Amino acid sequence: MEDNLSLSAEQTEKILQFQDLTGIEDMSVCRDVLQRHGWDLEVSVQDQLNIREGRPSVYRSDVITPSVVNNHLEQRVFFSPPSHNYPRNGVFGLFRYVVSLLVQFCYNTVSNILNFTFRLIQPDPRRFVTDPVRDVIEFIQTFEAKYGTEHPVFYQGTYSQALNDAKQELRFLLVYLHCEDHQDTERFCRCGEGRNAAVHRCGEGRNAAVHRCGEGRNAAVHNSLLLGPLVTRNISSGSSRLTLPSPEVIAYINANMLFWACSVTSSEGYRVSQALRENGYPFLALIVLRENRMTVVGRLEGPVEPGELLQRLRTVVSENEIALIAARADRVERSFNQTLREQQDQAYLESLQADQEKERRRLEEREKKEDAERHIRELEQIEIDRKEDIRQQKINSLSKVPDEPPSDDPDAVHIVIKLPNGLRLERRFLQNHSLEAVYYYVFCHPESPDSFEIATNFPKRVLRCLPQETGESVPTLAEAGLKRREVLFVYDLEA
């Protein structure tokens, strides 16, 4: 409720709009969804609609899990021994603590052997991951139902998707593995309303808790002794101050990293547990991109106070912030180089397109020129063929010109023919000769036009010298009114 009061007017308006559009009445759920989407109302609503319609959520896209480097020698490890319900002060308390560790070690050894043998016969069902998103969502719902909504914003997606988002956004990823039965879980997740009850509830079934969550792994003792200066031990007092719901913790985690959590009793949580190999609870792992690989750079195991948790997180973040700065600089440089290459490629493409367009126009002009030249050659060839045909016709038409009669022949008609170029032709024909003979005489002359007509001067009258399509015969010179001496003019029909 305090978080809702701290919301701005714009954020409150978006929550109300989100409720109206999706029908979700729980304002905390609406707030978490909007926070996860960076208060983008459209994306948040679309994601909820996709889930209702059976479409994959924006967090359920198939992704390849990035490899995670889990090298303990490169990690900052913080280990806090689990709290107990008996005093440790004095010799008696120390004695009971040592005896408890020995009993725990022996029990874990036998339990692990029996568990290993049993798993050879019947594999652990948690190994089969069927719906990792459902595992995460169910954990969040169960967590909020039991501990309330005062917590850092949970990443509502799979571990693989959280890794990919952290890698893509160049952010730290804080992983929390939740063990419901562990004695320190209650105090870590919620203010200790009844710490003694929590201790009693977890203590009476501690053996079951060890078997279920793996808090009593043998490596717990060895890691705390072998990791040297990288391991910071903290003997936690019995304070009941809340840790995960702390406003300072919530503000710091939300501002600086993604927060993914799941229960180790679920298939998805168990799979992550097997990858991170935690040795105690509550367990937190801080993962960040280093040398282009997602790397576990910090492990926080055991109960811790909010102030100590913040100090540890800030220590790990400050030690590895340089890796993110280098990654961001590298990404900016690669983005700049990519943009530069794209600009160069675009400039080259535009230049290439300009050259191609220029070459296309050049080829087009050349084709047009070649077509024009080819057309001219065709016309010239047609003209040559036509002239050759006319020349052949003139040769063949010589036989159609009758012999010239003598000058003293009483039926002779003396005809003077003027060609268009001014040349005068003189020839005698008989009155009974056809005008066709006059035509072929002119046609066979080398200086005559190829297509022409013959006409008298005055009155101007075109003579019908060739047969008509109607079948009428060509008149003779006498029928055309040509007598003793006549002057005829040749007109070029192609001029």
**pLDDT above 90: residue 468:** no
Q: CA distances (Å), 25 to each of 19, 28, 45, 95, 153, in order? A: 6, 9, 14, 54, 19
End-to-end CA distance of the chain: give it in Å, rounded.
108
**Poorest-pLDDT segment among 1-10, 66-75, 320-329, 421-430:** 66-75
Cα-to-chain-centroid distance, residue 481 = 97
Dmax (CA) for the chain in angstroms is 175
Q: How confident is the model at residue 186 (pLDDT cuts 50, 70, 90)?
A: confident
Residues paired with 258 in a beta bridge: 173
Task: Check if the beta carbon of residue 404 is closer than 8 Å to that of residue 427.
Answer: yes
Our separate counts of H helices and E strands in the chain read 15, 12
CATH match of 400-492 with 1.10.490.20: no
**CATH assignment, 59-332:** 3.40.30.10
**Domain assignments of the chain as residue spans, ordered by start:** 1-57, 59-332, 400-492
Contact partners, residue 160, CB within 8 Å, separation at least 6: 63, 64, 65, 66, 132
Pick the CATH number of 1-57 from 1.10.1040.10, 3.40.50.1220, 1.10.8.10, 2.115.10.20: 1.10.8.10
Q: How confident is the model at residue 232 (pLDDT cuts 50, 70, 90)?
A: very low
3-state SS assignment for residue 69? strand
User: What is the mean predicted confidence (pLDDT) over 356-376?
Assistant: 95
**pLDDT above 60: residue 199:** no
**pLDDT above 50: residue 228:** no
User: What is the mean predicted confidence (pLDDT) over 451-456?
Assistant: 90
> 25-76: per-residue pLDDT in tens?
888 888 888 887 778 887 787 777 766 654 444 444 444 555 566 665 566 6
